[in-house]
Chains A and B, each alone.
Chain A
Amino acid sequence: MKENKKDNTESEIPYLITVQNLNAFYSDFQALKNINLNIKPFTVMAFIGPSGCGKSTLIRIFNRMNDYIDGFRIEGNVIISGEDIYSKTVHTENLRKQVGMVFQKPNPFPKSIFDNVAYGLKIQGIKDKKFIEERVEKSLKQVVLWDEVKDNLKKNAYGLSGGQQQRLCIARTLAVEPSIVLMDEPTSALDPISTAKIEDLIFELKNKYTIVIVTHNMQQAARISDQTAFFYLGEMIEVGKTQQIFTNPKQKRTENYISGHFG
């Protein structure tokens, strides 16, 4: 990782992610309007807001998953670890090793549990069996799935429960050792017990990773995040410490949304 060359006058810790004057478009539709945002390393940043507010668009900008959508384009800068990720010299393959992603629905590959976790390493051309085995075990232990699956590593991942599948997907992401983990509503398809396990996990993971999470669940944002950003109709209305956003929001619209008046 390169050093962050930018001067950060507001803080002594360099920001890991910096978004400057960002506009995003799907053909003619503007999905994000003039977003400015900084995210510190080893924190959890939650994006909240009603459907269609642009929060998923923004999280998918961080690992350039929107590149596959016809007509999508951005203006402005997104700097991760001091590098503009939309500059021509950046390869998305390298970016995504550094910025992993967990999706809304658990989406394991139709392969064995082991192969799911090993996939990210294998596509990098890593052939060292012992190294892969160790990394798979380490990643599965990180998501507290190891004890449940260690005797069934050869079994198809589709046989796992929804919550186990989602933890497997997180392990798969961690196996390539990213510095940032993006989570796009990771618990919206899960039952409360599985959700609680994932939330505990996120709390553990922020010691080693920077996490950006999109959630529709207000309590979840309040429970697990350090910072919260509220989006509405493509604009970032407010961003700040989670406790401040939930107890003492500066904007009327944030307050209305959090208290359940709309959204």
Chain B
Amino acid sequence: MTNIQLNRAKDKMFATWGVVSTFFGIILLAVFIIFILYDGLPRLSWQFLVSLPSRKPENAGVYTAMMGTIWILGLTLLFALPLGIAAAVYLEEYIPKGKFATILEINISNLAGVPSIIYGLLGLQLFARTMKFGGNLLAGSFTLSLLILPIIIVATREAIRAVPSSIKDASFALGATKWQTIWLQVLPSAFGGIMTGLILALSRAVGEAAPLIVVGALAYVPFAPKSPMDEYSVLPIQIFNWISRPQHGFVVNAAAAIIILLVITFTMNAIAVFLRNKHQKKTN
């Protein structure tokens, strides 16, 4: 074999390996989704969406868990968004450059990698016990806010950094203050990027079970929450609970609940992609 033939063979081998690597994850996910759809689709119905939990699998529904998830998402958004944006604006535009800034930046990036169970334990001590919230929605959404804050901060900072400095210069040159420039020019221009980061962060929060179990989300809640002070369950915990039951009917329920959870996550990701594309079109 000549040198050229050998190199060509290597090239081919790598290309094949690349194809395998690319499709490995996608195919596994596709197989998983097909199984879930096969098990769960027949079970999906309006009845399933609006029924309360029950001991009998055929009567049980995801209503309480779904409402719990919606409440948690809404409250987490409410707490994490203003904090995250304010922190990102401070870090990008106001903080004096130096050692303090560097240390702060490294730590915030590291926080994004802390396992969620650790946030759960922090939430348990801080919100559930010290602040005496107990196992209610408030404690849960505070904990998830902590969990996704670093993600929002990092995404918002990137979005702010992507705003052309020429726009900021123009604003300053017309006599605008720093705050006016940030509020009227930087944040509107960064809106698409901030929303993308926010939605990706929220779609991570929607799938979290571990930290919520620690701060006291319940596997069985007879009624949907009506205020932030109520007890709650969320979809991932409901799924986990059903899967651990012996009756086959609950496994089918779990599959149906997984479909609902996936639809929520995929929808949120689709919105994120849509906002990003729309934003790109606007700035180009």
The residues of A with any CB-CB pair to B shorter than 8 Å are: 63, 65, 68, 70, 92-97, 100-101, 103, 105, 107-110, 119-120, 123-124, 169, 172-173, 176
- How many Å lie between the Cα of A103 and that of B172 in the bound state? 12
Number of residue pairs A-B, CB distance < 8 angstroms? 63
**In the complex, given contacts A65-B169, A100-B174, A109-B171, what are 4 additional A-B residue pairs having Cβ atoms less than 8 angstroms apart?**
A107-B166, A108-B170, A119-B184, A173-B173
Contact of A93 among B97, B170, B175, B184 (CB under 8 A): B175
**Closest Cβ–Cβ distance, residue B56 to chain A (whole Å):** 57
Contact across chains for B282 and A119 when beta carbons are under 8 A apart:
no
Q: Which residues of A contact B164 (CB under 8 A)?
A: 107
State the main secondary structure of chain B at its contact with A: helix
Some 9 contacts from A to B, beta carbons below 8 A apart, are A65-B169, A70-B97, A97-B174, A107-B164, A107-B170, A109-B167, A109-B171, A119-B184, A123-B175
Contact across chains for B174 and A176 when beta carbons are under 8 A apart:
yes
**B54 contacts partner chain A, Cβ-Cβ < 8 Å:** no
- Nearest opposing residue in chain A for B181, CB measure: A123
Q: A103-B166, A107-B166, A110-B282 are in contact. Are A124 and B175 (CB under 8 A)?
A: yes
Q: Which residues of A contact B170 (CB under 8 A)?
A: 103, 107-109, 169, 172
- How many Å lie between the Cα of A124 and that of B180 in the bound state? 10
Contact across chains for A110 and B283 when beta carbons are under 8 A apart:
yes
Q: Which residues of B contact A65 (CB under 8 A)?
A: 169, 172-173
Q: A107-B166, A109-B167, A109-B185 are in contact. Are A96 and B173 (CB under 8 A)?
A: yes
- How many Å lie between the Cα of A119 and that of B183 in the bound state? 13
- Of the candidates B170, B180, B184, the one having the most CB atoms from chain A within 10 angstroms of its own CB is B170
Chain B window 43-71, contacts with chain A (Cβ cutoff 8 Å), 1 for yes, 0 for no: 00000000000000000000000000000
**B177 contacts partner chain A, Cβ-Cβ < 8 Å:** yes
**B176 contacts partner chain A, Cβ-Cβ < 8 Å:** yes
8 nearest A-B pairs in the assembled complex, by CB-CB distance: A107-B166, A120-B174, A101-B173, A96-B175, A97-B175, A93-B175, A123-B176, A107-B170
